[in-house]
Structure 1
Amino acid sequence: MKFQDNQHFSHKHILNALKLDIGKKIDCIACENPITEPFHGCYSCNYYLHDQCLNIPRSLQHICHPSHPLTLLPNPTYSSQSFSCNACGSKGNAFSFSCAHCEFDLHIQCAKLPAKILIEKHPHELSLLFNSPYKDENIVFVCDECHGTANRDNWVYYCFHCDFGTHSNCATGNVTRKEEANSSQSCNECLMESTAHKFLEIEASNEAQEKSRLEAQFNAQGRNAVLDLVDGGSHRKYYYY
């Protein structure tokens, strides 16, 4: 049902259609992503929802969990006040689709992932799988986008023809803020590692140049010594490197 009466089950106050102030950055309570218009909210509580998040259905029958319907929850019901998404494996603190019987939880973004997707790095469509494409438990899935691994029960996008696959988040860009921080840290670590490699390469190059210079000097001195034996060095110029 579309949100029409300005009252949402997740909040006790009326939510009004709002305009985003220039320069103001606020996040959606449901998906935790930055608010963009159109959106509704409650200024007194700093409670804001994208309109698309506002109109999410209260229940969902998902193909990945056919045993029970999933219920939309505004807050995790676990004592930790967070949940672990069965799709991407990352933590969540906001809205989720949940099955209380099975302790099965999905980010709302993960719950609506498309069955197939195209990405720039691969020419074929990737299919959404709800677990590892490899039957052998000793084979670890490695993402061809970020080169990180995935647990066997995490969702991945995969091309069977090319054995090419990615994390679901890497394929769609559905990255939580915590993952962004980890990604940024990983990028910084990669940059530091790359810089260190370049430094070592430069050092190796400099050592090779110095070695060549010394070899040339040694060879020249050897030639000079031979000429000294032949003519006593009376008509010869010396060159130093």
Structure 2
Amino acid sequence: MEVLPHFSHVHPLVFNDGRSHKSEEVYCCACGELVLGPRFSCVDCGFHLDKNCAEAPVEMNHPFHRKHNLKLMTSSPYVKGNPVCGFCNNICEKFVYHCSCNLVFHIKCAFLSYKFLVKNFRELVHQDKPISSECHYQELERVQCFACQKPLLESDYISHESRFYLHKKCFELPLEISHLSHRYHSLFLQFNNDHLPCQICQETQHQGLIYCCLICKFVLHIECVSPPPIIEDPSIHEHPFTRCLRELSFNCDACGTLGNYISYNCSTCSLMVHKKCISLPRFIKSVLHDHPISHKYFVVDNECTTHDCLHCHEEVNMACGSYNCSKCKFIIHVNCALQKAQWYYKIESKDDFDKLLKELLEVGTMNPSFSIRKMIKVGEKMIVRIK
């Protein structure tokens, strides 16, 4: 009779091959799932562990988290509330693997992520198909790939019976890469526990996986590892922007803030911008000002009466991008104008911009003290309430 002393229980656990007492339903005290195979049980307490959970190491060196080892715990490490699993995003209520970086796994999720790492396709895959029917399309419209956090739509995917989903292309990602934008060290597929922004798109992906150099805190999103070399859109800029993969500090000509790595350049206009700043709206209506305002790559003295930002009151670098009201001759930082999505809406064209400005000026002529009270989006139109 095989007996196992286990740190989680005061009594020794006896091995049961699962073939006897077939009608008996028992649940694993570590993962909470019905035990269908071999298990270790306490004959006195009704305490059960399935064989995989019973033999789980008390400390795990997880390749998706290279900073520290994960330690197996019998319950939440936190005094208040249960943590969310960093792998499946569900609440952890039983045994967990935990790191001081506030990374927590269900015990089964820790092993499932290992299967992903070693490309154990046979064990990992439960389904293997592209999205097809309209019903299926609607169902998966809200489902994201674990690795890149992008929707599963229009791409082949694989899934596990625990409702863990991966794009096929993400399943095949290398665990280590070299990248032209970071020539000192390799980048490893990791959890983004430090919540660092991607050096190409400047956005922060809190869930899923990223490529990271832990030494330099350099992060790239999976989707940004191979960004488009040329971005050409006449509605954004009259000339194409070309990617530069040099680790080079620059001041973004569109938003006026620092960039340290990948830039996109317009050689015709001598512009150097962040990738995310290529698609800045050219015209917006902001709750911070009565009139619509337009983006400019630089503003000369006679176009504004003050160099101070309308919102933060700090000085704006006139030689870099900002938003400007040509009527009131004021200026505002790009990041201040776009700080919150509910503060503004995009105006699609110059004609719409001129029309809205004319309407607001006419109202302002009748009542110079008017201001925007509320902006409501109805379909594709924006209704402006004035007081």
Normalised TM-score (structure 1): 0.51
Structure 1: 4+ residue segments shifted above 4 A: 143-146, 154-160
Note the residue ranges of structure 2 that are not aligned, 5 or more in a row. Answer: 165-387
Q: How does 1:22-101 map to 2 (within 5 A)?
A: 22-80=22-80, 82-99=82-99, 101=100
Note the residue ranges of structure 1 that are not aligned, 5 or more in a row. Answer: 124-142, 177-241
Identity value in percent: 22
Q: 2-side partners of 1:41 and 1:175: how far apart?
A: 28
Query: Max radius of gyration: which structure?
Result: 1
User: Cα offset for 1:159?
Assistant: 11
1:112 corresponds in structure 2 to 111
1:149 alignment partner, one of 139, 142, 145:
142
2:15 corresponds in structure 1 to 17
CA contact (8 A) 1:82 1:92 kept: yes
Change in CA separation of 1:40 and 1:68 when aligned onto 2, cut-off 3 Å: same
CA contact (8 A) 2:30 2:49 kept: yes
Secondary structure of residue in 1 paired with 2:29: coil
Change in CA separation of 1:52 and 1:146 when aligned onto 2, cut-off 3 Å: farther
- Does 2:161 match 1:173? yes
Count of matched residue positions in the alignment of Structure 1 and Structure 2: 148
Q: Deviations over 1:195-223 (max 9, x none)?
A: xxxxxxxxxxxxxxxxxxxxxxxxxxxxx
Q: 2-side partners of 1:31 and 1:147: how far apart?
A: 27
Q: Deviations over 1:176-204 (max 9, x none)?
A: 9xxxxxxxxxxxxxxxxxxxxxxxxxxxx
User: Cα offset for 1:31?
Assistant: 1.4
Structure with the bigger RCO (C-alpha within 8 Å, sep 6+) is 1
1:103 corresponds in structure 2 to 102
Amino acid at match of 2:142: T
Q: Deviations over 1:16-64 (max 9, x none)?
A: 1235523221100111111123111113322101112111111111122
CA contact (8 A) 2:142 2:151 kept: no
Amino acid at match of 2:162: N
Amino acid at match of 1:38: P
